[in-house]
Amino acid sequence: MPQDVRHIVLSSPVHLFSFGFGAGFSPVAPGTVGTLLGVTVYLALVSLDPVVYVMTVVGLFLAGCWACGQTASVLDVPDHPGIVIDEIVGYLVTMLFVPLAWYWVLAGFLLFRVFDIWKPWPVSLVDRKVPGGFGIMLDDVLAALYALLCLHALVWAVQST
C-alpha cells in the first residue's frame, strides 16, 4: 500500500473507521481481514437486546455510508480495497437473529465471504452502478442478505431434525 494512502488514512478518524481501524491495511485479502474484525465486533454486540443490536447495525451502516464516501473521495478511488467497514457491517447483517454457537459464527463468515466475492445479481449491479459511500456499503449488505437467508435455512434445517 502506498505510503501516502497510509498517511491519509492514519491522519483522520473518518478514514481510519472506513479502513476498519487498520484491518484494511492488510496486504493480503483485506476484505477477509475486515470480515474477521466483523466477527469480533459481532461477538462484542451479540449479547445486546435485539432491538439495540439492529439499531447499532443501522447506525454503523449510515456512518459507513458517509465515511466510505469521504474516504473514497479523498483517495480518489471509487471503492479502495482497504475500505472494509462494509465487510464489518455485512457480517453483522449476516448474523442477525442467528443463535450464538461457534459453528454458526464460522458458517456466517464463510457464507458472507462467498456472497461478497461472488456478487450474485443484484449485488453485482449495485457494485457497478451505485456510486459513493452508499454503493460501497449497499453491495455488501445485499451480499449479507443472501448469506443471512442461507444461514437461517441451515439453522432451521439443523433445529428441525
Interval 53-86: pLDDT, tens: 999 999 999 999 999 999 999 999 999 999 999 9
Amino acid in position 41? V
Q: Parse the chain into domains and list their residue ranges.
A: 3-159
∠ Cα 134 136 141 (to 5°): 85
Give the global pTM. Answer: 0.96
Supply the pLDDT for residue 149: 98
Rounded CA-CA distance 158/107 in Å is 13
pLDDT below 50 — which residues of the chain? Answer: none
Residue 140: closest CA among 68, 89, 101: 89
Supply the pLDDT for residue 161: 82
Supply the pLDDT for residue 3: 73
Supply the pLDDT for residue 100: 97
